[in-house]
Amino acid sequence: MDLKLVQIENPDGLNLILGQSHFIKTVEDVHEALVGAVPGIQFGLAFCEASGDCLVRHSGTEPKLEQLAIKNAQTIGAGHSFIVFLGNAFPINVLQAIQRVPEVCRIFCATANAVQVIVAETEQGRGILGVIDGATPKGVEDEKGIAWRKGFLRKIGYKG
């Protein structure tokens, strides 16, 4: 077994969701979940088929995001993995809808941070072991940090 570290290419710092599912129907069902969650959503989705033709299946509402998803899916190359790049929405707006898709087994990350994917490769294929999402903590928030966090969440409308 070989371990590989795959850097997600995300030049514009877009929000992305990386997950694992179990069936080719994932592409249609995740697409439907996304457009149902946010009217007018822009996204690109790619899914690595794990049997049969073993193709990268894809869909989306924005061609550039779809191409970015395809490129990253090819680089990761792990069977039954999927990646979504979001244009005008945030993971918090769509994550529950994606998690309710029957084919979705797990979400590895939902982030706009730099992401590295830890991939194991054997003679059978590739699988995702985990992700490195962003940077290591530099400390613990103090009272000023707590006040900033609470104020920020209220400012952007996520807390009342």
The answer regarding whether domain 2-155 maps to CATH 3.40.1520.10 reads yes
Phi first, then psi, for residue 103 (nearest 5°) are -80, -20
Q: Give me the residue spans of the domains in the chain.
A: 2-155
In this predicted structure, the answer to whether residue 68 has a pLDDT above a threshold of 90 is yes
Q: What are the b/e assignments for 5-36, b being 16+ CB within 10 Å?
A: ebebebeeebbbbbbbbebbebbebbbebbee
Predicted model pTM? 0.94
In this predicted structure, the answer to whether residue 157 has a pLDDT above a threshold of 90 is no
Task: Give the pLDDT of residue 82.
Answer: 98
DSSP summary character for residue 112: S
